[in-house]
Amino acid sequence: MQMVSSFIEIDKASHFPLQNLPWGVFSLQDDGRPRIGTRLGAWVVDVAALQAHGLFDGPLLRGTAVFDQPALNSFMALGTAAWNEARATLQTLLAADTPTLRDNAELRSQVFHPLADVIMHLPAAIGDYTDFYASEYHAANVGKMFRPDDAPLLPNWKQLPVGYHGRASSIVLSGAEVIRPCGQILPPGAAAPIFAPTAELDFELEMGFFIGPGNALGQPVSVNQAEEHIFGLVLVNDWSARDIQRWEYRPLGPFLAKNFATSISPWVVTLAALRPFRSPGPTQDPNPLPYLQTASTTFDIQLEVSLKSARMEAPLVISRSNMRHLYWNMAQMVAHHTITGCNLRPGDLLATGTISGPTADSCGSLLELAWRGSKPLTLPTGETRTFLQDGDELIITGWAQRDGYRVGLGEVYGRVTAVAAPLAPRSTLRVE
């Protein structure tokens, strides 16, 4: 991509140069009206205000109020041509050689907002959420831990992108506290379960992607057209209660162990911004069935996980991974999801599942990093961790790098808080 610069000074380490221009929903501290904006360096740019001033004059957006909305769903539904038109308009307006904003101080004061003045909101009204299991390294690690006498991968794993339908109502924005969940747990050696707070709360390093235009019920999306349905990417932490999951997951898979919180980052980074960072994916062997066959490409996005306990002064990086480690790519996930005729809708969120790499320090969960509790992590304070404790803060960040600039996704952050008093069983139930 041709290097362009803005009239706004942007640090070279910023995730949000003019080459990025992600989409998000924000309001101001003194104005609670959510609307759509973009991020440029340390500023939030009010795209709704730009449109209200008549500055989106392209044929697909002229005369609409698509950015004066509390969610991105309507814009997501417009498709690639409208997204590209909006992106081109913004890059022109914000470029160093365009005087429209550069030389109009009054207009800039209406459009540019410091981060400290801004409240971020979920970027979309999320109707449905699906979580996949697309990292071979992660799936193999779990198989080695829980099925040491069998093959690490189940027979279907390299034939299809395994996934499950998650809970959209408990998707929360970065910064939301995560309350330790309670559930049924089978203690080691016990014959019957107990009801207790999870003692094995974990994070999962994932990427998520929002659906733009959907598909009609009964009409699958071709794998070679799937990216036309992907609006953009966010960071995902799909918090997991491993002990609850271990007792409940057979025969139907995750339920309560996953439904209490899924955190996402606030800025949706487009495929157009990430296009310069395409990367070959792993060789898929055996060759997938025809409906999943496509160029095995992904994105070279560096991912980093940091942990900070209540006693630590600064976060400690505990894992470094990369999106290119995924075995199944996003197009294959969309194609598989819809092959039955399942209809995806604008604002639906799909996630990759835990992204682990080939080395011990590139695992995307504490389950792997501490190898099911047998290799505790030692923190600078001398504390150890096999799973997350109350007061722990978990930060995931990710970015793609080229000479001179980076395109990043910001971060997704969450802090673990103690559960409220667990519900006590009632000895009698009186019905009147």
Q: Which residues are catalytic?
A: 138
> 52 is written with which tokens?
């209200």
CB atoms within 10 A of CB 238: 25
Beta-carbon count within 10 A of 134 CB: 27
State which H helix or E strand residue 105 sits in.
Answer: helix 105-111
Beta strand ranges found along 191-344 (DSSP E): 194-197, 201-202, 205-211, 230-237, 240-241, 262-264, 269-270, 278-280, 297-299, 302-308, 316-322
Helix locations, 147-296, DSSP H: 242-248, 271-274
Q: Residue 2: what are its φ and ψ, rounded to 5°?
A: -65, 135
- The Cα–Cα gap between 161 and 327 comes to 9
Give DSSP secondary structure letters for 71-95: SSHHHHHH-HHHHHHHHHHHHHHTB
Matching residue, tokens 């939030």: 44
Cα–Cα distance for residue pair 138/145, rounded to 1 Å = 11
Q: What is the dihedral of CA 289, 291, 294, 300, to 10 degrees?
A: -90
